[in-house]
Amino acid sequence: QVQLVESGGGLVQPGGSLRLSCAASGTIFMVYNMAWWRQAPEKQRELVAVITSGGGINYADSVKGRFTISRDNAKNTVSLQMNSLKPEDTAVYYCNGDIRSSPYRRSEYWGQGTQVTVSS
């Protein structure tokens, strides 16, 4: 069984920074894309950033230049460095991974979510 566990959320003032981390554990053969999504109250879940196993990266337009996604393939972790945070970044942030847990099973997994609140 594969699990994704996030950490690093919290309350920060506008203009501040936070770093989110996510670790995949369990029986893992291969980790393909890893991503961060977020969902604000009464809004649809949106893709924030995605990083491929080869290091290719894409960001939502709303976070370009402010957020940086990175991964450590040896540790099966993905991080999101968030700078110049704005109140509109307030949301529950979810880690997502496309993971092969056996030669015959490849699935998409989600973390439990971590709250990020940007407020003065």
Mean pLDDT across 12-22: 98
- The Cα 80–Cα 63 span in angstroms is 11
Mean pLDDT across 30-47: 97
User: What is the per-residue DSSP string for 54-108?
Assistant: T--EEE-TTTTTTEEEEEETTTTEEEEEE-S--GGG-EEEEEEEEEEEETTEEEE
- Percentage of the residues of the chain whose pLDDT score is greater than 70: 100
- The Cα 61–Cα 49 span in angstroms is 10
